[in-house]
Structures are given as structure tokens and as C-alpha cells.
Structure 1
């Protein structure tokens, strides 16, 4: 179920708790928890409705500007039933805490065994340590460039990185990846001496949904965290090549979630 970033932020804030969709049949069930950019979003209800029965309060709760706007949006694919989906913020993504949890020796052994099973079941062959090393030595590098270094298709490479992310070993950035503290501990456990790495950037990473051009433009001026964005006004950001209105809007939403704002 796709939900726009602004709506996700509003669900987290509690100002939106409904969504309406045209589906041939429900694509979610009550209790479904979706991992999103703002954390977990839980489906609290799913019911078929008549568009004619909708009221202004439904539009408000779904974040639509008006009942007419909501009705117009639901006019698309009108041959499919309309569904009212209740939504609620259900807390942070548990993978965030997992990434920060440095494993002890027993946990490292369990993770290593899990990596061995992933390697054994892959048609590509052993890929887990290769991929962890690749990300560790090439932080913030685009997935296609990393895949090319090991002669892999980008889609398959990204699919495997997601498996490492599920184990809390990697972090996805707007461009490229990083090993998490958990991932660094697992890699170092397989080395004679721990690897020397650049200090981890302090602060909140830039939102992934601002797009690669905007991320590159911000990196060029040394901005890699939301806290650093607060030194710039929206007008200054708009003057940077690659930072468009959509990126500025999404940066503004991310700042507001944390009680921050652009410079005057």
C-alpha cells in the first residue's frame, strides 16, 4: 500500500487516520504493519464503502482538501470497489534499534551462521561477506556502482542488501549504504584487527525521498544531516542545482517532524 511522505508524516502526527483506495479486493488486513520512512504504520480497519456515503469528515481524516477532492480521486478505476482503511502510527521501525545493538560473541556466532545459510541458498554463491565488505569500503556509493564492481545485476544486488538490512547489518541512505554499528561488529569479528573507519556522522541522515540530485547537491556543500540543513533558507536551497521544490518540501516535512526548520 503506497502512502505519500506528507501523509505518512500526518499519520505519525495523528492528524490523518484514514485512507481510501479503489481495489478489486483488499490488499491489507487489520493488524498489518507497514514499515515506512516514518516508522511502523498499522492498519486498524478495512471496510468497503460507497463513495456516495462519504462525508467531509472522511475527507479531513484522510488528508484530502475537500470532500469533492476525495470523490474526484476515487473516480479513477471506478469499476473497482472503494475501501476505507483505518491507519495509525505504531512506533519506530524495530530495525533502527537492531542496527544500533552491537552483538556479543554469541550473537555474532548466530549472525554468522545465518549469513552462511544465505550464502548456501544463493544461486550466485557466497555473497554476504563480499557485500558487507563492499559497503564497508565504499560507503555512500550508488547501488549500481557497487553491483558493477562485483559483476552483478543491480536488482539482484539490492535484493540481497535488503536481506542484510533485515538482520540490522546495513543502513540505506538517499544514495548508497552504510554498515550499521551491528554490521561493523560482525565484519570486524572476521578480521585479525578491527577495521579503521571514518567517524560516523552525527545527526539525522537526510531523507531518502528527496532524490539523488538533491542529495548530491547537499553533499557538495557538506550537508549530510537534517541538522545541517537548518543553516540554509528554502531560497538558498532552491538556488542549488538539483534541489527542486519537491525536495525542499520533503526536507521541510522531515525538519518539522523533529521540531526543526529552515533558516529565515
Structure 2
């Protein structure tokens, strides 16, 4: 179930608690928890509704500008039933805490056993340690470029990286990946001496929702965290080639979630 970044922020803030979709059949069930850019979003209800029965309060709770706008959005695919989905913020993504949890020797042994099972189940042979090493040595490099270096299809490579992310070993960035502190500990445990790495950037990484062109433009200007974004005005960033209005809006939304804002004009 796709939810726009602005709506995710509003669900987290509690100002949106409904969504409406045209589906042939429900694609979520009560209790479904979706991992999103703002944390976990839980489905609290799912019911089929008549568009004619919708009221202004439904539109308000769904974040629509008006009842007419909500009905217009539901006019597409009118042959499918309309569904009213209740939504609620369910807390931070547990993988965030896991990524920063440094494992002890027993945990590292358990993680390595899990990696061995992933390798054994793979149709293209062992891949877990190679991928961890590849990300560790090439942070923030695009997934297609990393996949090409090891002769993998991008889609399959990204699917495998997601398995490492589930273990708390990697972090997905707006462009590329980074080993988490947990992942670094696992890699270092297999080396004669810990690997030397560049200091981890202080601050909140740029959100993935702004897109690769905006991320590249900001990085080129030395802006790699939301805290650094907050030292600029919206107009300054909007003037950068590659940073469009949508990216400026999404940066503003991401900053607002953390009590930050653009510098005043």
C-alpha cells in the first residue's frame, strides 16, 4: 500500500487516520504493520464503502482538501470497490534500534549462522559476506553500480541487500547503502584487525523520498544531513540544479518531524 511522504508525516502526527483506495480485493488486513520512512504504520480497520456515502469528515481524516477532491480521486478504476482503511502510527521501525546495537560474541556467532543459511539457500552461491564487504568498501554507491561489480542483476542484488537490512546489518540511503554499526562489528569480527573507516556523519541522513538527482545535487554542495539543510533557505536549495519543488517540500516535511525548519528568507 503506497502512502505519500506528506501523508505519512500526518499519520505520525495524528492528523490523518484514514485512507481510501480502489482495489478489486483488500490488499491489507487489520493488524498489518507497514515499514515506512516515518516508522511503522498499522492498519486498524478495512471496510468496503460506497463513495456516495462519504462525508466531509472522511475527507478531512484522509488529508484530502475537500470531499469533492476525495471523490474525484476515487473516480479512477470505478469498476473496483472502494475501501476505507484505518491507519495509525505504531512507533519507530525496530530495525533502527537493531542497527545501532553492537553484538557480543554469541550474537555475532548467531548472525554468522544466519548468514550461512542465506548463502546455502541461494541459487547463485554464497553472497552475504561478499555483499557486506562490497557495501563496506563502497558506501553511498548506487545499487546498479554495486550489482554490476559482482555480475548481479540489480533487482536480485537489492532483494538480497534487503535480507541483510532485516538483520540490522545495512542502512539504505537516498543513494546506495552503508553498513550499520552492527554490520561493521560483524565484518570486523571476521578480519584480523578492525577495518579503518571514515568517520560516520553526524546528523540525520537525507530522506530517500527526495530522489537521486536532488541527493546528488545536495551532496555536491556539501549538504548530507537534515541539520545541514536547515542552515539554508528553501529558495537557496530550490535554486540548485536537480533540487525541484517536490524535493524541497519533502525535505521540509522531514525536517519538521525532527523539529527543524529551513532558515528564514
Structure 1 residue runs of 4+, over 6 Å off? none
Instruction: Report the 3-state secondary structure (helix = DSSP H, G, I; strand = E; otherwise coil) of the residue aligned with 2:42.
Output: strand
Q: Quote how far apart the aligned CAs of 1:50 are.
A: 0.8
Match of 1:72 in 2: 72
Unaligned runs of 5+ in 2: none
Q: Quote how far apart the aligned CAs of 1:231 are.
A: 1.0
Match of 1:31 in 2: 31
Match of 2:125 in 1: 125
List aligned pairs for 1:57-206, cutoff 5 A: 57-206=57-206
Structure-2 separation of matches of 1:10 and 1:180: 28
Unaligned runs of 5+ in 1: none
1:154-209 C-alpha deviation (Å, 9 max, x unpaired): 11111100000000000000000000000000000000000011111111000001
Structure-2 separation of matches of 1:72 and 1:216: 36
Structure-1 separation of matches of 2:47 and 2:214: 40
Q: Quote how far apart the aligned CAs of 1:99 are.
A: 0.3
TM-score normalised by structure 2 residue count: 0.99
Structure-1 separation of matches of 2:32 and 2:121: 29
Match of 1:20 in 2: 20
Structure-2 separation of matches of 1:214 and 1:238: 10
Structure-1 separation of matches of 2:167 and 2:145: 23
Match of 1:253 in 2: 253
Structure-2 separation of matches of 1:235 and 1:79: 44
Structure-1 separation of matches of 2:48 and 2:238: 43
Structure-2 separation of matches of 1:259 and 1:201: 19
Structure-1 separation of matches of 2:187 and 2:39: 27
- Residue 209, structure 1, aligned to residue 209, structure 2: yes
Structure-2 separation of matches of 1:74 and 1:132: 44
Structure-1 separation of matches of 2:199 and 2:213: 25
RMSD (Å) for aligned C-alpha atoms? 0.5
TM-score normalised by structure 1 residue count: 0.99
